[in-house]
């Protein structure tokens, strides 16, 4: 018999975020800001110090120390990963057994379902309310009824851009036996983090990333924060040299510049505000063509019956945004990029002759 791929991977395709070259990229929630020159200089100095023939520090000591300092958490509660994406995979492969149930929400980050299937766990999606808010009671109820082993969701949420306030997240974690993986990839843009109290729970792991607010998507650096028992387990099951020395040095440099990073976040939030307000005006002009959701992130989310055509129209004008069924997700760009995308959206909606 010739070799054949197993059924869980047979139909998979390599991840391809987008095909083609577009002048304006607002499809991946990246920061539009380049890393500040001062930090780039720090990078160069750090690279000069690296012993390239040596394996990296398995615990990324310096990086988790400055991370801890940045957020006011103890570094012994922190594990570094090759992007938080790697950490999601590590958590799923280690904290789940085959057939275990993982509860996530719909809509939420698509990688949760993907990694669940790779580890042969069962993914259960709890639908969100019609307005895309989370019904915490329903999540708790489903977790009990289905005996979920893990609950994973993003807060604020990618793609909806909505946030669940701290009190509701606390209520959820305390009410379930499952391990709660709280993906705070966008929490630098909002103020409802549970990082400071991660140690108080026996069933909470919080994920953070340098890819969004800190503009380091290229470098691949994420963190998991949890109590010492969970942290020991994560450190024990991850690949020993998962974060390379260059990334560790870059991460340490960026996170040691709190003032510059706080400034970057303010700039990104201002850009989001401009994009949001521009689209808000369009929503007033074309109320039957779109619905804009409140945003706690660096992107906005739009429901529209015209998502497919609208997306196509933007691509034809060399602007890439994320198309998701009945929705578009648009990352805040530079002032110029936001102006362009809003102008094109107006053009598209006017052309529809709607309303």
Within the chain, what is the greatest distance between any pair of CA atoms? 65
Ranked by CB distance to ligand PLP, the top (closest) residue is: 83
Complex with ligand PLP: residue 149 or 212, whichever CB lies closer: 212
Give 29 or 245: the residue with its C-beta nearer to ligand PLP.
Answer: 29
CB of 349 to ligand PLP, least distance (A): 27
Tokens 């760009």 -> residue: 333
In whole angstroms, the minimum distance from the beta carbon of 58 to ligand PLP comes to 19
Give whichever of 252 and 282 is closer to ligand PLP, judged by the CB atom. 252
Q: Tokens 């002759």, residue?
A: 353
**By C-beta, is 112 or 276 nearer to ligand PLP?**
112
Which one, 271 or 344, has the nearer CB to ligand PLP?
A: 271
CA dist., res. 229 & res. 125, Å (int):
28
- Our CA dihedral for 147, 96, 195, 133, rounded to 10 degrees, sits at -50
Give the sheet arrangement for strand 299-303, strand by strand. Answer: 24-26, 319-324, 327-331, 299-303, 291-292
* Contact footprint for ligand PLP (CB under 6 A): 29, 83-85, 109, 154, 158, 183, 185, 209, 211-212, 217, 222
Q: How many helices (H) and strands (E) does the chain have?
A: 11, 12
Q: How far is the CB of 178 from ligand PLP (least distance, A)?
A: 19
Least distance to ligand PLP from the beta carbon of 210, Å? 7
Q: Which residue has the tokens 């690279």?
A: 47
Provide DSSP, 271-326: HHHHHHHHHHHHHHHSTTT-EEPP-SSSEEEEE-TTHHHHHHHHHHTTEEEEEETT
Residue the block writes with tokens 């023939």? 53
CB of residue 205 vs ligand PLP: minimum separation in angstroms?
13
In eight-state DSSP terms, residue 20 is S
CA nearest neighbour of 109 among 7, 203, 222: 222
246 in helix, strand or coil? helix
Selection from 52, 28, 96, 57 nearest residue 241 by Cα: 57
Nearer of residues 192 and 318 to ligand PLP, judged by Cβ: 192
211/256 with CB nearer ligand PLP: 211
**DSSP label at residue 286:** S
Q: Specify the residue, 185 or 349, whose C-beta has the smaller distance to ligand PLP.
A: 185
Q: How far is the CB of 10 from ligand PLP (least distance, A)?
A: 25
Q: Is the dihedral of CA 222, 226, 230, 232 positive or negative?
A: positive
Residue 281 C-beta: closest distance to ligand PLP, Å: 27
Shortest distance, CB of residue 214 to ligand PLP, whole angstroms?
Answer: 10
């Amino acid at each position: 018999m010739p070799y054949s791929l197993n059924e869980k991977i047979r139909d998979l395709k390599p991840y391809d975020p987008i095909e083609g070259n577009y002048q304006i990229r607002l499809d991946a929630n990246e920061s539009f800001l380049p890393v500040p020159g001062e930090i780039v200089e720090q990078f160069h100095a750090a690279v000069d110090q690296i012993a390239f023939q040596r394996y990296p520090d398995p615990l990324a000591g310096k990086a988790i120390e400055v991370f801890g300092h940045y957020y006011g958490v103890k570094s012994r509660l922190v594990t570094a990963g090759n992007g938080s994406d790697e950490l999601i995979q590590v958590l799923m492969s280690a904290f789940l057994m085959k057939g275990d149930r993982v509860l996530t929400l719909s809509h939420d980050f698509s990688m949760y379902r993907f990694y669940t299937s790779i580890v042969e766990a069962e993914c259960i999606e709890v639908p969100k309310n019609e307005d895309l808010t989370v019904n915490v009671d329903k999540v708790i109820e489903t977790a009990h009824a289905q005996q979920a082993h893990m609950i994973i969701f993003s807060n604020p949420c990618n793609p909806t851009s909505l946030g669940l306030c701290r009190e509701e997240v606390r209520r959820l974690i305390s009410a379930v036996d499952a391990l709660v993986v709280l993906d705070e990839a966008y929490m630098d843009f909002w103020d409802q983090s549970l990082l400071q109290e991660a140690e108080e729970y026996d069933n909470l792991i919080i994920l953070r990333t340098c890819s969004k607010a800190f503009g380091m998507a290229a470098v691949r650096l994420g963190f998991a924060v949890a109590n010492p028992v969970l942290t020991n387990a994560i450190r024990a099951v991850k690949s020993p040299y998962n974060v390379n020395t260059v990334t560790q040095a870059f991460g340490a440099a960026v996170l040691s510049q709190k003032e510059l990073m706080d400034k970057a976040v303010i700039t990104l939030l201002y850009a989001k505000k401009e994009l949001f307000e521009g689209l808000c005006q369009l929503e007033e002009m074309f109320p039957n063509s779109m619905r804009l959701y409140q945003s706690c992130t660096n992107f906005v989310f739009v429901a529209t019956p015209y998502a497919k055509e609208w997306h196509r129209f933007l691509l034809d004008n060399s602007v890439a945004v994320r198309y998701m069924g009945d929705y578009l997700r648009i990352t805040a760009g530079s002032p110029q990029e936001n102006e362009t995308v809003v102008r094109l959206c107006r053009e598209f909606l006017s052309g529809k002759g709607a309303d």
